[in-house]
Structure 1
């Protein structure tokens, strides 16, 4: 039976501590408030039903007082619905001052109010019946009831005095503590008295991060702000810490005093407070038992006289009361239909009490509220005190960075659609596209786009619609993109090289009703049921009638690009026209794009890096060279030397490949490297081969921030020896904040995670409110940010430098890959019991490649079968280079996979390559290929093994291209080089030394 509980009814005596709250003046009711604000809706009927159910399990929330006894009234707390906007503490909402005194009436109630897109819920409780912990028990129980979960209950009817008696009997000792004399000024200066009393007020401040020793830090800030050498504070302490089995909503809190030296550090103050608690200082801070024996009217008169003296003399037992309610999880106060976004408490301060400061951690932020008696200038002093507290917890020099510049006015008006149409009207005969299909003018491209747009509008597609685009880098694809945009819809680019099963899944996930496909892809089964396929070439040639519609607005969706997902499900990033317009305007200025600029388009349309080449030149009269073929050294050489291109956007991996292949580009003015870390040595070699006239930029920007949001021009004199070229400064209007694992701003020079904000931030993830809540957050000041997972540090130069990742995400040739997604696919194979995938550096390099380790069930399966299984479901760049079968996954003590204990994927027998049975020229070819492999992979020939597989030895697709280019140039006749590279798909499927040698021999 709970301590002090009657088996048939919940009742308990009023404790001396609780009696204090019974004599509060009417102007300052002793009521605690817990605000829960969020998105989504909670109706009054469902909330009332949940409150009713929670009251049954927490009977301490429905108490009434008879004399000096609390008794269960049997009536659940009322739920009152108020007009929208009526629960603003700063606006002095009357309903927040309504007494809940327990004199035959309720001790708790719930207020409900709507706001645009969400709901405000306020839990109110009389402090004489509940304390802060009890209030949290109750609020969390109500939300369990809203979610339909089993209730935990808080049925214990123990009072503070009964708990103390039990602890005394158990021999728990206490120290005498600090004498509570009325000899201290308040933290907010003199308060109003008599006729000047203007009630009670609150002020709130939200600070980023979770701060260890927060009470000690706040105490120091207040002491220093008040200019005292020694600051004394009341710190409410929950006595349940002595009896953790208790589930009670009752008032079981004591208010011991502790002192801080204003000249000391917070660690010393924090240690002192913990020492006092370890000595039982909180147990000694009990109220005098006389409180329950003196008639309340006499006690109220005595307390009022003492309070008047205290106010007149500005003397209190402490500078302030500091209450920390701890950390609250958003999940605890959310439902499927409602997501808590802000939670904070409002303090109260009774007679003879100093100002109260409440702290609460919620969703990576620290909420701080001050409450006290209002009066002339008091609110302004409260704001100044909050400024001092914020500076102590989160200094301005960490929060403010000169690199976060304001947005600049756009140099071009209108969306990219309007800009393209205006350009086509100005220069209709100028060449927009070049490529194997011949030149295409602006007028012709616009006409084809109009034809597609009109067809889409005829099918009922427009604003809010998503149209799939499964196409290569063709004229029809370019017309398709502009046609979708002109129709007001958003396009979803799909890479034809990806498996049909994956493409179908993306179309379903994006809820696309139409998919535009190249004629060459029309027979593939990539369009799911419920989505209509339409051939691009057919729609583009039906005439150039303009599409009817009301134009494109900045807030309309422009495109969706899918990236790898750590949960095994890809996620679609939604980019609006406003963000695309801001990026384009900045990039055109920064990269000097004009009517003479020509970008080659050689990467997949489903890779947002391609959007630089796709959009920028066509907004200013420049051109695009379409490169439809898969990239190999022959295609790359032609693109760089004879395509007419003079500007280039590519990954650092491809930039490195150009120099490794010994190519000599001509006529380039601008090269932008993005998507991966750019090493100084790679940039230096690129500068040498592209020439001093070519500007080389290092660009940073996740898909969620629209292509690129930072850029830094490479400086050979400063950057050539750096392990990574700095990523520089954000685009105007983009703000980047570096936060540590606790969500606090880091010191300049320290590594922090990049949280990105500003005009280029994506709308969010398509149909993924869970991921939006996880990755698109708000800082304390309300700024919406994207949590990137990328680490960076601020350099003395004032620029940012990349410093890795916070997770296992791997960049493969600029593509973001979540290894967990690949492991999830492997585990769907019936023979696989468990799988683990990781990115590891290839031998002799710092570049990472993907490797997989699998534990099989009873059935055996070849690893090449598993690789084929993955290749049928994921893009080529996500297929692990090597898959190893192991008996079990090694685990660390905390249950995670111990990567250091996994067998190295590129370990071989170490035996030298055997001489092939064939003699003569073929043996010589194999030996020559082996030498090239050894040099390319950075491995001695002895480590190639008996049946060398290029991927198994750590090679990736770009290294494979390097190797094949060297084989072609050294072992294949020049006139047969293209024929040799036509075997590329077969080399990828079977990357063995013998296979390569056989093809070489057949062409000699």
Structure 2
């Protein structure tokens, strides 16, 4: 070979450590391996293409060698399909993990694909060409290629010698480690086959290596333990990307009972001093003939087991943090990664640590033999207990298991129809439906949907108000085996159309009153519910299964777009089972609903009574003090579910609820004074149940019965998880917190949503797994366990806010503002008026050069629900940020500073009506009524929709009077569109004087 050709094909010199690994015989092949475990599949052809593509970007994966140099053009890593254990992918069940490398074709790297539940992708590499940090770069690039992205590559030809040469020689070489440590795991005789034990710990643990070393010393029963701690020398060459060997070890002694902080400090000191760089392998290895070096390796490997002595008690390697999102493809969802190396010559037990997906993986590697697996498992259990004590992980409140009974809600509804067909299923002012009528009409809907091609997994839009058409429609969808998507008739057409498109709904059921809405366009097949036959359809023989989708409800999204929460039948059935029991719902019960059907709070009333033979009571008109009076005083309902804001509103009104025996309060934090006032108002016979749960956990998951004697804190407790549900409190590092400390709530159990429709990234982020495999939803809500063992809600860990029970992500509103061509950037924040507890939203926009402000309220109202429109949106020169890069809310002007000052002498000019209405506004909003002028806007003063209803009730009581109340409330639409003091006063004045308001318009 000519010199020119050799120069072009030389990759890098063979280093001393490379030479050492190359001398290992196949019987003790130095192979590092990483298992990527997850669900789904990866086409083998695509995997082969990706591995070959990455070989060009990471040339160390395809090398050949001479005695002195690594050359390019070696065999590309092969891809093999292998079988795992019968019970899923178990390490011991994959025989190929014990195969030596290089492979018969000369490849130093390979990838194994093992399909199963879970599936696994195993990356294997000879230690001669790669170390653990290098393998992480290779793995990440293969997954990039599988996703169709460009590999980042790791082509730097740097070697360990290049790093060593950056540090001046000290003239002294550290003494070689003494071979004196008896293996704490015992020395199995016979086979050299490698064995592994694995455990997973919740959370990330600062000082992990030091903590594990201390735990091992105790578990081994040693007075002093010596550990070889691995270091990655890449930190000395920032910016270099190489998969080659740049790792060294340094020895540390740990005394029994020594605080982990002491060892952690010694490790950090060693890193600061670059001590691992001083322990380079003797370059004399490069001069030894290969046969002689191999003979030496065999002798040393045989010597340690014979003498039962090693250079350390255990090798400890922290392999860093890897995010599962980086290990996913369109069809494969990674859950975790963990190493399973083969033991090398003279190696003591090897414990590798990886942080992945909010958990810490621990893999202990040692020689196989009788009792080895048990002993390794015992040692790892001790390490797990030291990192995450069982007493902290275990909370008695999570003992909630109960056998599921009764089938899906469709099964239960059909059973009630068969038993009591004549009973009243639904009633409203002026009408009712029996179970037989509801069954017949919903069968017609189901049959029509099946004719249109609706099947299991389909999503069907439902645009109807709180009427029998909505109830008929949703049961029709469920009977067809599909999932319904409730659409709020109060939302703008553009938003509703976007939800239908995002959900992939091809069919939309529509109430006749809304058939002309623009949302029902050519992209959807519209079925007008009012026009379908009343009966006559044969029974639809579709029975939804527990894993089928029941409904999709959209909530506000932090990424700027709403997200559709997918709830399965099994989750809904579990919820309905315990609500019927805990709320006391059965035949004869009358459960009222007055909230939007697109708000999952309404599902409690929609499903609980109609699956046990009770009655659903509908209040069709929008909530105000008139409709609330009718609902509470004359409807005959005895159970009601509502938000704390609505309960507070009821407390402010002069209402006399009659016949109620249960109130279910959910959606926001319930304050004790509000609960106490409600108890007095509804009477001692009425139970007040405080329920907690996000949409992703099927309406509600914990429950606490309020009692004045027990609930003396400012906020009412949220109680204990319900049947088959769990709550786990973790800190920011995903570690369990002790009782009494605040942690973020991670919810588990039977009621968790399937995920977010079409949003794998968001599903992956919010729905995760604990170390024991439990699937959980990360809520962002903070809580703690009280001394009595129940949960107390504390607040939020992020910017999410609640308005009247609706969950709002301010980022979604900001995204809508930024879509306006006049806006350069925007931010929306939640503020609280001093002395109050009600939050209001404030918007801030920075305009493009030369742009003029617009009517932000009108613009936002065309894209968002009314409850998401900020109380005020103002123009600022710039959005201030703090040192952490976050918006500096304190530096922003208050967009709702208070009531505008009225002109001098204006108060003397106002009439009696204006002064009275201003007084009502002042009492409702906590502002100075004397400073209000006619242009004062209720919402821009910080008022929300519930406060608006309280204000209107006050105007009726103090200004208009009972006789003129109907005329005044008939103008509710005009007031909502223009909630200024001047407009409210004008309508109040005309209503009181008996003028024809229709003519006045």
TM range (shorter): over 0.9
Which one is further off, 802-811 or 81-90? 81-90
* 8 Å CA contact retained: 2:163, 2:236: no
Which of 669, 684, 697 lines up with 2:661 in the alignment?
A: 669
- Unpaired runs of 5+ in structure 1? none
Partner in structure 1 of residue 180 of structure 2:
183
- Residue 192 (1) aligns with residue 184 (2): no
Partner in structure 2 of residue 109 of structure 1:
110
- Residue 63 (1) aligns with residue 63 (2): yes
**Structure 1 pair 178–593 and aligned structure 2 pair: CA distance change class (3 A):** farther
Which of 340, 345, 349 lines up with 2:334 in the alignment?
A: 340
Partner in structure 2 of residue 605 of structure 1:
597
Which of 969, 984, 987 lines up with 1:981 in the alignment?
A: 969
- Residue 705 (1) aligns with residue 697 (2): yes
* 8 Å CA contact retained: 2:131, 2:245: yes
- Any residues of structure 2 matched to 1:346-745 within 5 Å, and which? 346-410=340-404, 413-539=406-532, 541-719=533-711, 721-745=712-736
> Cα distance, 1:948 vs. partner?
1.9
**Structure 1 pair 892–945 and aligned structure 2 pair: CA distance change class (3 A):** farther
**Structure 1 pair 174–477 and aligned structure 2 pair: CA distance change class (3 A):** farther
* 8 Å CA contact retained: 1:102, 1:126: no
- Any residues of structure 2 matched to 1:41-60 within 5 Å, and which? 41-60=41-60
After superposition, the C-alpha distances for 1:312-351 in whole angstroms (9 at most, x for unaligned) are: 4432221100011111233443344544322221233322
> Cα distance, 1:510 vs. partner?
1.6
> Cα distance, 1:420 vs. partner?
1.6
Partner in structure 1 of residue 205 of structure 2:
211
Which one is further off, 176-185 or 28-37? 176-185
> Cα distance, 1:666 vs. partner?
1.7
> Cα distance, 1:73 vs. partner?
4.1
Partner in structure 2 of residue 27 of structure 1:
27
* 8 Å CA contact retained: 1:22, 1:101: no
* 8 Å CA contact retained: 1:177, 1:257: no
Instruction: Tell me the SS of whatever aligns to 1:255.
Output: strand
Q: Distance in 1 between matches of 2:654 and 2:503?
A: 43
Which one is further off, 153-162 or 198-207? 153-162
Which of 894, 904, 926 lines up with 1:904 in the alignment?
A: 894
- Residue 319 (1) aligns with residue 310 (2): no
* 8 Å CA contact retained: 1:844, 1:937: no
**Structure 1 pair 898–172 and aligned structure 2 pair: CA distance change class (3 A):** farther
Q: Distance in 2 between matches of 1:941 and 1:824?
A: 35
Q: Distance in 2 between matches of 1:486 and 1:88?
A: 38
Q: Distance in 2 between matches of 1:584 and 1:572?
A: 21
Q: Distance in 1 between matches of 2:970 and 2:834?
A: 28
* 8 Å CA contact retained: 1:908, 1:945: no
**Structure 1 pair 619–486 and aligned structure 2 pair: CA distance change class (3 A):** same
Q: Distance in 1 between matches of 2:824 and 2:161?
A: 57
Partner in structure 2 of residue 924 of structure 1:
912
Which of 776, 779, 784 lines up with 1:788 in the alignment?
A: 779
> Cα distance, 1:913 vs. partner?
6.1
Q: Distance in 1 between matches of 2:692 and 2:291?
A: 70
Partner in structure 2 of residue 97 of structure 1:
98
Q: Distance in 2 between matches of 1:45 and 1:456?
A: 40
Which one is further off, 207-216 or 461-470? 461-470
**Structure 1 pair 620–739 and aligned structure 2 pair: CA distance change class (3 A):** same
Q: Distance in 2 between matches of 1:131 and 1:691?
A: 71
Partner in structure 2 of residue 873 of structure 1:
863
* 8 Å CA contact retained: 2:853, 2:875: no
User: How many residue pairs get matched?
Assistant: 987
**Structure 1 pair 336–63 and aligned structure 2 pair: CA distance change class (3 A):** same
Partner in structure 1 of residue 954 of structure 2:
966
* 8 Å CA contact retained: 1:89, 1:202: no
Instruction: Tell me the SS of whatever aligns to 1:256.
Output: strand
* 8 Å CA contact retained: 1:347, 1:357: no
> Cα distance, 1:21 vs. partner?
2.5
> Cα distance, 1:628 vs. partner?
0.6
**Structure 1 pair 269–442 and aligned structure 2 pair: CA distance change class (3 A):** same
* 8 Å CA contact retained: 1:57, 1:155: yes
After superposition, the C-alpha distances for 1:633-684 in whole angstroms (9 at most, x for unaligned) are: 1111121111101111000000011111132212110001001111111111
TM-score normalised by length of structure 2: 0.94
Instruction: Tell me the SS of whatever aligns to 2:431.
Output: coil
> Cα distance, 1:794 vs. partner?
1.5
* 8 Å CA contact retained: 1:973, 1:1003: no
- Residue 757 (1) aligns with residue 725 (2): no
> Cα distance, 1:23 vs. partner?
4.2
> Cα distance, 1:528 vs. partner?
2.9
Q: Distance in 2 between matches of 1:837 and 1:399?
A: 38
Which one is further off, 285-294 or 953-962? 285-294
> Cα distance, 1:405 vs. partner?
1.8
Which one is further off, 606-615 or 772-781? 772-781
**Structure 1 pair 224–175 and aligned structure 2 pair: CA distance change class (3 A):** farther
Instruction: Give the aligned CA root-mean-square deviation in angstroms.
Output: 2.5
Q: Distance in 2 between matches of 1:439 and 1:886?
A: 54
> Cα distance, 1:989 vs. partner?
1.6
Partner in structure 2 of residue 887 of structure 1:
877
Q: Distance in 2 between matches of 1:797 and 1:812?
A: 30
Q: Distance in 1 between matches of 2:143 and 2:486?
A: 42
Which one is further off, 549-558 or 612-621? 549-558
* 8 Å CA contact retained: 1:936, 1:962: yes
Which of 764, 767, 772 lines up with 1:776 in the alignment?
A: 767
Which one is further off, 333-342 or 989-998? 333-342
> Cα distance, 1:942 vs. partner?
4.9
Partner in structure 1 of residue 816 of structure 2:
825
> Cα distance, 1:965 vs. partner?
0.8
* 8 Å CA contact retained: 2:653, 2:950: yes
* 8 Å CA contact retained: 1:85, 1:113: no
Partner in structure 1 of residue 124 of structure 2:
124
* 8 Å CA contact retained: 2:64, 2:74: no
* 8 Å CA contact retained: 2:85, 2:93: no
> Cα distance, 1:219 vs. partner?
0.6
* 8 Å CA contact retained: 2:593, 2:619: yes
- Unpaired runs of 5+ in structure 2? 993-1001
**Structure 1 pair 280–551 and aligned structure 2 pair: CA distance change class (3 A):** closer
**Structure 1 pair 172–610 and aligned structure 2 pair: CA distance change class (3 A):** farther
Partner in structure 2 of residue 956 of structure 1:
944
Q: Distance in 2 between matches of 1:90 and 1:150?
A: 31
Which of 238, 247, 258 lines up with 1:244 in the alignment?
A: 238
Which of 256, 264, 286 lines up with 2:258 in the alignment?
A: 264
Q: Distance in 2 between matches of 1:635 and 1:58?
A: 70
Instruction: Tell me the SS of whatever aligns to 2:911.
Output: helix
* 8 Å CA contact retained: 1:450, 1:546: yes
Q: Distance in 1 between matches of 2:921 and 2:37?
A: 61
> Cα distance, 1:557 vs. partner?
1.6
* 8 Å CA contact retained: 1:890, 1:902: yes
TM-score normalised by length of structure 1: 0.94
**Structure 1 pair 174–820 and aligned structure 2 pair: CA distance change class (3 A):** farther
**Structure 1 pair 154–473 and aligned structure 2 pair: CA distance change class (3 A):** closer
- Any residues of structure 2 matched to 1:121-200 within 5 Å, and which? 121-164=121-164, 166-168=165-167, 171=168, 180-188=177-185, 190-193=186-189, 196-200=190-194
Q: Distance in 1 between matches of 2:828 and 2:969?
A: 30
* 8 Å CA contact retained: 1:437, 1:475: no
